[in-house]
């Protein structure tokens, strides 16, 4: 193990160059226009898998999917098999004028590595493969078995991943799941995520007429669909209380007092939050009165208007618009049921419409359930011990306001396998936003921790990890 850890230090610049090669490929999955780049990205991941020493490397697909990269090393009989997950697709570049360096060129600045995908999630590919290579390039073997899948559709909801798991169930069967696609609570504080919010997206359409009408002819007489839509959406304003949808909180699991005590003990710098999230001066946080920000973002549901459309500013004309639409993203928590949430929101938004407008609400995507586990047991102890040494400080269990939809179903598919969600991002990483970055010091510590995790899991049998 010492040789493997030293290999990481000696070859750090090579690892960074490998990450630079990955982020240079514009593997955007959200617009349907970068299939060639995503295929190139999968090919490069496969090559890096081979370079690290993984075997039986190949690109895999299911009908209609973007490519997955797969590799394995299964020469440790009697040892646990660890399923490593990452994704090689990325979000598009938005607010280009705010980027301080070329988004597709890995740039070192102030102790961080900047590029689209550096933190979400190509850094995880590099970290996982570096930990594998550290063993195979020194002692020539791993203390565990590895099966690694790098997906190409995570940023579009992993829509084909359930079919992928079903088709390749035997091939990928494992005892422990390790994912590096979550956040550390702060730079330097290793964090193990044990809860994720679910998500569902609804489209709201408001119609008042069959065609636009000149605002000089009909303004004030014709019902304005755009205004009616905003009246409907304003019903969701929670004003530091609960979201005012009847029944919305009936099944929400209340955190225990022990959990709330843990939330309060975690570091929370209000000014740093405001800075990292770009909150304007004078704008309040919107959390419920008396609810801690961590509880609010990890264990309370949320609604967000993520898109709104009636006309466009560039082509605007003096017209009363006949139709307006919006997308509402709803984050769900234990024990909310997606179908019940959709029904509650639909009823609330369609009743008593302004001016009698036609209001329809329909799902705009497949729902993803929340996930929560008990962060105890041998596999979690192995992870906590590895993080404690790798970061030289005690790790913390945290929740996450985001969604990784496959974790729960995959754990079930593997017969209740423990899922270890190890942080790679931090509050300043700006995933999905301008100037996405990876803290280089934490990147080093994560790789060291993964080497230690493999060693710790290798001391267990497959039956002992749960």
Q: pLDDT digit of tens for each residue in the chain (466 aa)?
A: 799 999 999 999 999 999 999 999 999 999 999 999 999 999 999 999 999 999 999 999 999 999 999 999 999 999 999 999 999 999 999 899 999 999 999 999 999 999 999 999 999 999 999 999 999 999 999 999 999 999 999 998 888 999 999 999 999 999 999 999 999 999 999 999 999 999 999 999 999 999 999 999 999 999 999 999 999 999 999 999 999 999 999 999 999 999 999 999 999 988 988 988 889 999 999 999 999 999 999 999 999 999 999 998 888 899 999 999 999 999 999 999 999 999 999 999 999 999 999 999 999 988 999 999 999 999 999 999 999 999 999 999 999 998 898 999 999 999 999 999 999 999 899 999 999 999 999 999 999 999 999 999 999 999 999 8
Residues whose CB is less than 8 angstroms from the CB of residue 313 and which lie 6 or more positions away in sequence, other chains included: none
Cα–chain center distance at 407: 11
Domains and CATH numbers, the chain: 2-196+370-464 (3.40.630.10), 198-363 (3.30.70.360)
Nearest to 176 by CA among 418, 369, 451, 384: 418
**DSSP class of residue 401?**
S
Q: What separation in angstroms does the CA of 149 have from each of 24, 132, 324?
A: 21, 14, 41
- Token pair listed for 294: 């961590």
Which residue in the block uniquely carries the two structure tokens 């959709």? 342
Cα distance between residue 464 and residue 458, in whole Å: 11
Q: Identify the helix (H) or strand (E) that includes residue 419.
A: strand 419-425
Q: Is-contact 270 279, C-beta < 8 A? A: no
Cα distance between residue 303 and residue 329, in whole Å: 6
Cα distance between residue 323 and residue 359, in whole Å: 10
Residues in the chain: 466
Q: Is-contact 130 447, C-beta < 8 A? A: yes
pTM: 0.90
Cβ burial, residue 203 (10 Å; 0-12/13-18/19+): middle
Cα distance between residue 195 and residue 172, in whole Å: 24
Cα distance between residue 349 and residue 5, in whole Å: 56
Instruction: Give the helix ranges, DSSP H, for 176-306.
Output: 215-218, 225-234, 257-265, 270-276, 293-299
């Amino acid at each position: 193990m010492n040789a493997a850890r030293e290999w990481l230090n000696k070859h750090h610049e090579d690892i960074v160059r490998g990450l630079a090669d990955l982020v240079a490929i514009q593997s955007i999955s959200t617009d349907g226009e970068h299939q060639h780049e995503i295929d190139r990205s999968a090919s490069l991941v496969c090559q890096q898998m081979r370079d690290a020493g993984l075997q039986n490397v190949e690109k895999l697909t299911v009908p209609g999917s973007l490519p997955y990269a797969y590799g394995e090393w299964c020469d440790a009989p009697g040892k646990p098999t660890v399923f490593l997950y990452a994704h090689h697709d990325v979000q598009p570049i938005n607010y280009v004028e705010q980027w301080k360096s070329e988004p597709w060129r890995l740039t070192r600045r102030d102790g961080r590595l900047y590029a689209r995908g550096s933190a979400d999630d190509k850094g995880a590919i590099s970290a996982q493969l570096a930990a594998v290579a550290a063993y195979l390039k020194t002692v020539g073997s791993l203390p565990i078995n590895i099966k690694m899948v790098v997906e190409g559709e995570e940023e579009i909801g992993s829509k084909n991943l359930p079919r992928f798991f079903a088709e390749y169930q035997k091939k990928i069967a494992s005892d422990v799941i390790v994912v590096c696609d979550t956040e550390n609570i702060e730079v330097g504080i290793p964090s193990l995520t044990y809860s994720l919010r679910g998500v569902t997206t609804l489209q709201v359409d408001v119609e008042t007429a069959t065609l636009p009408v000149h605002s000089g002819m009909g303004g004030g007489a014709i019902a304005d669909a755009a205004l009616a839509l905003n009246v409907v959406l304003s019903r969701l304003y929670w004003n530091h209380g609960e979201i005012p949808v009847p029944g919305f909180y009936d099944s929400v699991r209340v955190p225990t007092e022990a959990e709330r005590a843990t939330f309060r003990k975690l570091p929370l710098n209000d000014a740093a939050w405001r800075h990292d999230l770009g909150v304007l001066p004078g704008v309040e946080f919107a959390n419920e009165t008396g609810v801690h920000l961590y509880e609010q973002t990890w264990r309370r549901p949320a609604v967000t208007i993520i898109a709104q459309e009636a006309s466009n500013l560039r082509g605007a004309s003096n017209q009363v618009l006949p139709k307006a639409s919006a997308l509402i993203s709803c984050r769900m928590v234990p024990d909310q049921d997606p179908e019940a949430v959709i029904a509650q929101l639909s009823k609330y938004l369609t009743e008593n419409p302004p001016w009698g407008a036609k209001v329809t609400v329909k799902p705009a995507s497949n729902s993803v359930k929340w996930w929560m586990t008990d962060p105890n047991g041998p596999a979690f102890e192995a992870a906590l011990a590895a993080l404690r040494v790798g970061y030289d400080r005690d790790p913390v269990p945290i929740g996450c306001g985001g969604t990784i939809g496959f974790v729960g179903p995959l754990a079930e598919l593997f017969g209740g396998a423990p899922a270890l969600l190890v942080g790679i991002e931090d509050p300043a990483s700006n995933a999905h936003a301008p100037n996405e970055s990876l803290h280089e010091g934490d990147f080093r510590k994560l790789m060291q921790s993964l080497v230690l995790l493999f060693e710790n899991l290798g001391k267990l049998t497959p039956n002992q990890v749960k």
